[in-house]
Structure formats: structure tokens, C-alpha cells
Structure 1
Amino acid sequence: MASFLQHARRVAYDTRKADHAPVRQIRRVSRTAPLSLFIEVLEADGCVIVKDFTDEATLAKADHEVRPHLEQQGEGAKVGALQGKTRTVTRLIGKSATVREKFFADPLYQDLCEHFLSLETTHWYGDKPLTTTSHPLLSISITFDIPPGTPAQGLHRDDKNHHARHSHAESYQKGRDILLGLFVPACDTTKANGATRVVPGSHLWGDEIPNFGKDGKRGVVDAELRMGEAFIMLGSLYHGGGAYEEPLGVPKEGTRESRTVHAMFSCTGVHRQEEVSFLSYPIEEVKTYSKIVQERLGWKQSEPNLGWVDLKSPEFLLAD
């Protein structure tokens, strides 16, 4: 046990840089292709662009539902990788029926969630084998509205929120990931307006310091998307929002110029408490509990970015 823990610490804090070679571009696959092709591409590259995922009429309907929530905000959130410029719509599933039923509930995305995130385990109940399945959960749904003047994010893995650990692999093994993300842009996303930068193949890397070259561009490509397309990626893939440095002069009528993207991540179903404490204990009662009990029930954010409510640590809801 001691040697295992020592190895885990070395993996978590290894200061070496891996000599990762540049890899392929992001592949575009028609949504009419068989599920097996999407699985093959995601296992090989860690990401895929879905052609004809939706249409402009559906995107316009989603925008109509989301836009009022964006316009209520003066400034964006200053938390995590957000630097106060990006406006957000949290609890998105409850605020846009179109995002909920047309994007998140899309059969292709949900089938991919089942493939990559569902867990099936056989264990013993006495002398009888029992096989059970844990299905995926929504982890977060949020709209990002990113204006000119927004700098690039550092390249990162989103499963850092779950403190995930990774070992180098030559090929993908099912069960390696705990997150699968879906990004649906409300406009064309290009390098000029900060399209997400991704490193195809990096989902197979270990936890050593990644080597993106002296200019930070080695193996990095821009996930440029046309309206109607979607981007799906594994949570272990290195990525980061690109720089949106200057206005392009293409704002929608009556709105500020921005790059708007609807994002949803699903996680493995075991990443939750055995007892659903938020449904089990009324908030008015929780307010009377000691601070340590409140925290152990989940009323405190897990660093770096897990357990948010509207991008804030949830104990603010306990304040009188």
C-alpha cells in the first residue's frame, strides 16, 4: 500500500515534460454515420466535430430562450478560468427547453455518454454474482457568451475538477474517462473569435507536464465550427478557449459582439454521494447545522471547480 501511494504522489506531481508529437487534425463526421464511427474517432483522437448536428432555426429558438438571461448581466463571472468578461447562463437545462431536449437529450450524444461513461460491474452477494450498471449524469450545463478582448485560456483537462489521474496509453480502454462534453455554438466559431484550441490525441497522455513547444502551439489545433455543427470531447483531452483579441464587426442586431456557445458535460454516475443529501435535508434545517456538518453534506465547493451553484460555492444559499 505504501509503495502504491508513493507512486500515486509521483504521478500527481511529476515535473517531467513528455515529448508529445503533434497529431492529426480534428475529424468531421456526419451525424448520419454509424455510432461505431464516432466511438472509433473519439477513442483515437479524444474529440470529434459532428456535421449537421442541428439547424439554424433550432439555434435561433435556443438563443431566444437564453438571450434574456444573458442580457440581465452587466459583467461576466470572475471565477476559475473566467476573467470577468465572459457572461454565463448557469442551470441551462432548466432555462432552455431547446438546449435541454434538442441538444442535451440528442440520441447521438446520449448514446456516446452511455458508451464512454456507463459502468457495469459484477460483484459478489454471498456466493452469487450480481451485475449492476451505473448510468451517466449531467455534470454541468452552461452557456458562455465571450466578447472581444478575451485572452486565451491555458490548455487544461476538464476532469481536473474530479482530481482524475491518467496513465500514458498507446490505445484507448473503455472506462478511462469520467466526463464527456458537448459544445453547440450559436454562431460560427473561428480562430479570430477564439475558437476552442484542442490537442487531439492528448487524452491518451499521462500526468507528466505536457510539452506544447516553446510557442505553446505544438500539436494544438483550432476547433473551428460552423453553425449547426457540434463538438464532442472526452474530459481528459487538453483544450482551452482561444484568444478573441479584436472585434470583428459582426454583432447580432441589438446585442454586443460575442462568441456564444452552449456547453454540457456528463459524468459517470458514481460521482455523487450515496445518499442524495440535497434532497434529503430541507435547507431551513441545514441552516441550523454546524459548519462542519454543512460542509460534509456538500454545502462547500470542492476545489478547483466542483459543486458550484451559479458558479459560486453553495454555502451562500445558507445565509439568512
Structure 2
Amino acid sequence: MPTLPRLSRSQPLSDFIQALEKHGCVLITDFTDPETVAQANKEVKPWLDGQGQAGAKVGALSGNTQTVTRLISRSPTVREKFFADSLYQSLSEHFLTLKTTTWYGDEARTGQSDPLLSIAITFAIPPGTSAQGLHRDDKNHHARHVAASEYSQGRDMLLGLFVPGCDTFRANGATRVVPGSHLWGDETPDFGDQTSTVVDAEMKVGEAFIMLGSLYHGGGEYAKALENASSGEMERRIVYAMFSCSGVHRQEEVSFLSYPVEEVKTYSKVVQDRLGWKQSEPNLGWVELKSPEFMLAA
């Protein structure tokens, strides 16, 4: 039975890189603290409570799951404590930054494209939700994969961060993952009987899970209520999901239409950059032939 690598954020960045290259995923045992997660839950609660019982039917969502979109705006805690987290951003830069040298006449010029936020969303999954089919999230970008025995830089275009809003375990549908599947090709995947290939990414509040976009995974079955919700609360498994993409790919969420400029001015610099308010060198994403951050200073 494969296991998930579990690391403390105090360990060197190289340990996280090695775990992601080998397994395609890593679990951080002390990503945040319960108080910070509780604050995020408080911020998204009005957006969840304002919805009906019917959920989204798009992609891998079957209609049971409630969602909170435009999450960067609706939860400052998710924005500045989870997405902007230095460890996650460092890993995004390592795996997704593109640096290319091209020739302009007889001069070699090197340009750098930094990662962008592709999507930030809350999932609230209730009892009665069936398991998702195992899938890769980079399907949205029509990614192609060649089988490999070891990881090579530039292989991936997405890096995901999952922060649970409650304890997650097999009984309430913890995400199922297939460690090592990020090295598979595009042939029909062989999951065997799944007992020897698939692992439940069970997490306590305060932990987090990071995975490459090429890793096969899927939400688990949440067959019945566990009756563990607080009095007056609806039982559900809450997950905050954020994906970064390489800076030359189209973002899943259209950030420029989601977040007003005046609001973006209040965000931290790293979040502004990751929303696309910084040019991808040499000439991608400009406004009036200039890198767009000048609009945030106006």
C-alpha cells in the first residue's frame, strides 16, 4: 500500500521538492493552525448559507457540492494565509516558473514568466455524495504526458493546494490520490484493485495537501452522515482548493473579471502578481505596452 509523504513546514524546501517529484504530492502536517481555519470558515459561511441545497454541476462536480467562487475576495484569510503562504508560493515558483533564453538578432535575451492563480474555490460536500472518478486536473489545459521513470523540470503546468476546513477522513470522503501517477503517460490508467495504488489523503484541521496537476485523484465517497456537526450546523466536508498555473496558460477563473481594481489594490503584492497584475516577460499580459501593475498605483 503506498503512503503519502508527510512533512513539517520546518523541513527544508528541498525535501518538499523531492517529495513532489517522487510522489506527485505531499502532506504538510503543520501548514496552519485551527484558529486560522476557523476564521476562514467564518468568512465563507455567509456565502454557503445563502445557497440552496442544490450544488454545482460542472466538471467533476455531481450537483451535491456547494461552492464559494471568487474566494480570493470573499475570504481574506484564504487569500493572505493560505494562498499567499510562503511555502506554497516557493513550490509554485519552483515547479511552474518558466525561464527561457531566446535570440533577438545576435543578442541572447532571457525572459521569466511567473506563476498565476488559476482558481481559488471552496467546496462544501454533504453526506450522500458519491466518489469522483479518478482524474487529472490539468485536463482543463489539455496537458499531454509521456511516461517517465523520474521527474523532469517543466513537466507540470499546475500545482494545487488543499486546506481542509474540518477533519477529513475516508468516512467523509477524503480525497483519494494515486502517488506516483504524475509520471504516467496518457494511456488508459491501470489502477489495479485500487487497494494497492490509491491512498486516502486524510487530514486534521491545520494540515494541508499539495499536489501536481498531473496526479490522478478524486473526492472519496461520503455515503452517510457521521452526526459530527455542531448544533444547528449542516454536516459537510469543507475544503479550500487553490491551483496555480504557469504564467503562459489560461487561468481557470477569469481573475480580471472577478476582482475589481480598487479591491486588488488592497491585496498583498504576491497575490496581485499571481492574479496577473504583472507582465510575463518578455511581452505577455501588458496594458498600454507596460506591465499592468502601474494601474494599481494610480
Q: Secondary structure at the match of 2:233?
A: coil
Match of 1:236 among 208, 214, 218: 214
Deviation at 1:218, TM superposition (A): 3.9
Match of 2:48 among 47, 50, 70: 70
Query: 1-side partners of 2:17 and 2:57: how far apart?
Result: 36
Structure 1 equivalent of residue 79 of structure 2: 100
Match of 2:100 among 116, 121, 126: 121
The 5 A counterparts of 1:160-199 are 160-199=139-178
Normalized against structure 2, the TM-score is what? 0.83
Aligned length: 254
Gaps of 5+ in 1: 1-21, 280-320
Normalized against structure 1, the TM-score is what? 0.77
Supply the AA of the counterpart residue of 2:190. Answer: N
Q: Could you tell me whether the CA contact under 8 Å between 1:152 and 1:243 is conserved in 2?
A: yes
Deviation at 1:120, TM superposition (A): 0.3
Deviation at 1:85, TM superposition (A): 0.8
Deviation at 1:216, TM superposition (A): 4.1
Structure 2 equivalent of residue 204 of structure 1: 183
Query: 2-side partners of 1:31 and 1:172: how far apart?
Result: 22
Deviating beyond 6 angstroms after TM superposition, the runs of 4 or more aligned structure 1 residues are 276-279
1:232–1:278 CA distance, 2 compared to 1 (3 A): closer
The 5 A counterparts of 1:139-158 are 139-158=118-137
Deviation at 1:159, TM superposition (A): 0.2
Deviation at 1:278, TM superposition (A): 6.3
- State the structure with more CA Rg: 1
Deviation at 1:133, TM superposition (A): 0.5
The 5 A counterparts of 1:241-252 are 241-252=219-230
Query: 1-side partners of 2:183 and 2:58: how far apart?
Result: 29
Are positions 1:224 and 2:189 aligned together? no
Query: 1-side partners of 2:114 and 2:98: how far apart?
Result: 7
Identity %: 68
Structure 1, residues 91-150: CA drift from partner, whole Å, max 9, x if none? 101100000000000000000000000000000011000001000000000000000000
Supply the AA of the counterpart residue of 1:169. Answer: A
Q: Could you tell me whether the CA contact under 8 Å between 1:211 and 1:218 is conserved in 2?
A: no
Structure 1 equivalent of residue 281 of structure 2: none
Aligned CA-pair RMSD: 1.6
Are positions 1:79 and 2:58 aligned together? yes
Q: Secondary structure at the match of 2:170?
A: coil
Query: 2-side partners of 1:139 and 1:119: how far apart?
Result: 16
